[in-house]
Structure 1
């Protein structure tokens, strides 16, 4: 999964675009202002990528891994809302179907349509988003309603859509700093910062593909052609954790998926996700998840029974 630069071609008269997806984050629809309808296009959400536009993404449903900057986090359920600043690399790797809505906008273009107070709030929001911010659903119900409306309804005209976007930005800017969590501990607001992390992302991609094998550090050192000391210095900067911790996170994430979606014995799942013995698997799972694998399976089974039949209906 090499890092990609995404060019978002906004027409001269536009300052934003709206995307939505109902099953595959790489198969999206975008609102075409000229025809007033959503049309299909190839998405990039599943690729580790960056762009110069600010992004607001709401994951309505889906379980998987979200990578933003140097943080890798497992997400489960619904209403995962993030605001991502210019140049901040990101991707989503879902274990199955997912749904959501995304707004990407040029903050420099949109400034022209704001009041002085609006510009001040916009500057604050963009600055906070430089490292990415995650906002719990209980603090952003109004923002979620607006995003759902943008994805579910085709506005009668462009001005109406623009007005909803301004309202969305206002609600996000008004959220108190203590109600939002900074995602990445490192800023990626220039191209060179991103280039410096490409080699480490090769490692991340390799681990994602080989987590079920007996991974040896030397294999990775050969891949990126680094000494152990250099690698050990750079890898935590990219991922926020050590090499062994990241491997365990990926393995436990995939084990969680299998516990949710299969009836395989826990011992089989442990070996399928790269653990050489069951006791080690149980210990690491408990450390990362806070519960044992068997308890996790029971809790997920109960949670899915309590969910509505289709979480993605709200954006169809």
Structure 2
């Protein structure tokens, strides 16, 4: 049988109350969920909603996009729409655990539409932008659990108020890290945003090309030093680091979703030699490409 490589898309019709899901017609666009492990809900999957995920028991490996790392009780992660994820417990007692995950799911569109009339909601949009890559928050476990119960136990306007209070605390939290690939930050004006998006699109669409900061600076009528400052402000990375991170991110996707040889992937994503590819991969991911591929196979565990 062919090996499963891609994440499963979670559809609304699969969200049965028997599995712990709240009915959207009863609670609105903010939905709470709690579950133990093992469970059919724990699998390598993605969906259209944001998902805020608090671990309350067990430890193991977490998979978010191209991120592989450890988790333990107290881990709090926000994943963006269609970002694949799974938590695999490795220290379960016999019979599993009754509660491991406290989850909140919510959609983007209601917030986007409401922000047109309620500008205060835009305060959380930088948070939602970062969530495209997955965000792990630190030092928030106790507060997050309290927030979750406030949301869970509320309905109507009170639930919306409790949810907004939770989001405001997350938006103001400065102790976090982004998990999956390179991140673009918001720019101050539309022209800058358009320029950065054009540059990033060119890089991501043509990874095998040799991209030059000097050439891009000239296209924008900037000096190379000014372009470097501009690019770092917008992405949080130097130009070279950003290109390497995007290439490694694409390599991770190929390592996870295909059976291509590592040497072939190296050249496909734009590296000129395998030694440099392995070195950059180790710097960014903390493991070699072959170790990453081996560990990534564990992302399918959890539904047994």
- Which of the five TM-score ranges fits, normalised by the shorter chain? 0.5 to 0.7
Aligned residue pairs: how many? 203
Q: Tell me, which stretches of 5 or more residues in structure 2 are unaligned?
A: 14-23, 184-204, 206-245, 270-276, 299-304
Q: Tell me, which stretches of 5 or more residues in structure 1 are unaligned?
A: 27-42, 204-223, 254-316
Asked whether the 8 Å contact 1:49–1:91 carries over to 2, the reply is: yes
Structure 1 residues 231 and 196, CA gap change in structure 2 (3 angstroms)? closer
1:243 paired with 2:238, answer no
Shift of 1:131: 0.7
Shift of 1:196: 9.5
| Cα separation, 1, equivalents of 2:176 and 2:38 | 27
1:187-266 alignment runs, 5 A limit? 200-201=255-256, 224=259, 226-232=260-266, 240=285, 241-246=287-292
Shift of 1:4: 1.0
Which residue of the partner structure matches residue 123 of structure 1?
125
Residue deviations 1:191-243 (CA, integer Å, cap 9, x gap): x999997763357xxxxxxxxxxxxxxxxxxxx2x344224466988x94423
1:170 paired with 2:168, answer yes
Alignment partner of 1:88: what SS? coil
Structure 1 residues 130 and 247, CA gap change in structure 2 (3 angstroms)? closer
| Cα separation, 2, equivalents of 1:196 and 1:90 | 18
| Cα separation, 1, equivalents of 2:182 and 2:46 | 15
Alignment partner of 1:82: what SS? strand
Shift of 1:101: 0.7
Structure 1 residues 118 and 60, CA gap change in structure 2 (3 angstroms)? farther
| Cα separation, 2, equivalents of 1:91 and 1:124 | 24
Residue deviations 1:161-208 (CA, integer Å, cap 9, x gap): 2221121111111212xx111111257xxxx999997763357xxxxx
Shift of 1:246: 2.9
Which residue of the partner structure matches residue 85 of structure 2?
90
| Cα separation, 1, equivalents of 2:145 and 2:120 | 20
1:267-278 alignment runs, 5 A limit? none
Asked whether the 8 Å contact 2:127–2:170 carries over to 1, the reply is: yes
Shift of 1:17: 1.5
Which residue of the partner structure matches residue 290 of structure 1?
none
Which residue of the partner structure matches residue 66 of structure 1?
62
| Cα separation, 1, equivalents of 2:34 and 2:27 | 22
Alignment partner of 1:87: what SS? coil
Which residue of the partner structure matches residue 51 of structure 2?
55
- Tell me the TM-score normalised to structure 1 length: 0.53
| Cα separation, 2, equivalents of 1:16 and 1:4 | 22
Q: Which segment drifts farther, 117-126 or 227-236? A: 227-236
